[in-house]
Amino acid sequence: MSQYDLASEAGISTKHLSFLETGRSRPSRQMLLRLAACLEIPLRNRNDLLNAAGFSSVFEERSLDAPPLDMVRRAVDAVLAAHDPNPALAVDRRWTMVAANRAVAYLLSGAEPLLLRPPVNLLRLLLHPAGMASRIVNLPQWRGHAIGRLRRRIDCTGDSGLIDLLDEIREYPSVRANGAATDPADPDMVAVPLRLATMDGIMSFYETSTLFATPVDITVSELSIEAFLPADRQTAEAMRIAAGRDDLQSLPRPLAPAQTLAMMV
């Protein structure tokens, strides 16, 4: 954003913003929060900004199991259950899984049990050779997609844990895909699907992400629900049939965070 654009959005003059930028004026806590909101700075980093200016933190970070977040937890569980029989899971800022519906067991079938022991990282599970990588038909595209999302979040947050995760993923040995990558020029394509080789054939899923729109808690602001929705009729029918299998029925829905993948191993 230009200085003029930021000043206009914050409702202040460019002169005042210039004085704040150069240190000629000291910003109030409210001014810092206003500018941080205009710049869409993550809540965790807004606390860092306030602390650097000598103010106390404003945004709390509570466990998803904490009583004040009971309504959030129930909302997440309701969304996950509503996606059944299609896989859906909740992840934190580092793509660590915190909850999942029972259909996720179908998606993760065949993954190395060690990768399914909590804490489970979704990106690691997708791209690790012992995870789902060997079953992803269009692996080059999906690896690029996942790394792109990871880089954007690093650019936004500077999170050292995400930087370590990116370095780890880059070191994974190449895994030969099971078939040709999806052609992005396909005129019938509306998004790049995750094409997964399963015992029922090649399944195609579109991934969607759901976020809380107006969070004021750090944990809630960093929570997203990743759902894998059928990209064709074959996949939709296969997931409907799989929903009646004993291996999926043995997983309760919605799962508590501590149970989510320990029960899948």
Place of tokens 């199991």: 65
What pLDDT is recorded for position 257?
Answer: 38
**Predicted confidence band of residue 186 (pLDDT cuts 50, 70, 90):** low
Long-range contacts of 112-115 (CB under 8 A, 24+ apart): 113/265
Q: What angle do CA 211, 226, 117 make, to 5 degrees?
A: 120
Query: Model confidence over 67-113: pLDDT tens digits?
Result: 999 999 999 999 999 999 999 999 999 999 999 999 998 888 889 99
On the question of pLDDT at 253 being above 70, the answer is no
Please state the pTM of the whole predicted model.
0.83
Domains of the chain, start order: 3-52 (no CATH), 67-249 (3.30.450.180)
Instruction: Pick 69 or 249 by higher pLDDT.
Output: 69
What pLDDT is recorded for position 258?
Answer: 35
What pLDDT is recorded for position 265?
Answer: 39
**Predicted confidence band of residue 244 (pLDDT cuts 50, 70, 90):** confident
**Predicted confidence band of residue 199 (pLDDT cuts 50, 70, 90):** confident
Residues 6+ away with beta carbon under 8 Å from 147:
166, 169, 170
Q: What value does the mean pLDDT take over residues 186-207?
A: 85
**Predicted confidence band of residue 191 (pLDDT cuts 50, 70, 90):** confident
What pLDDT is recorded for position 107?
Answer: 85
What pLDDT is recorded for position 180?
Answer: 45
Q: What angle do CA 72, 211, 41 make, to 5 degrees?
A: 110
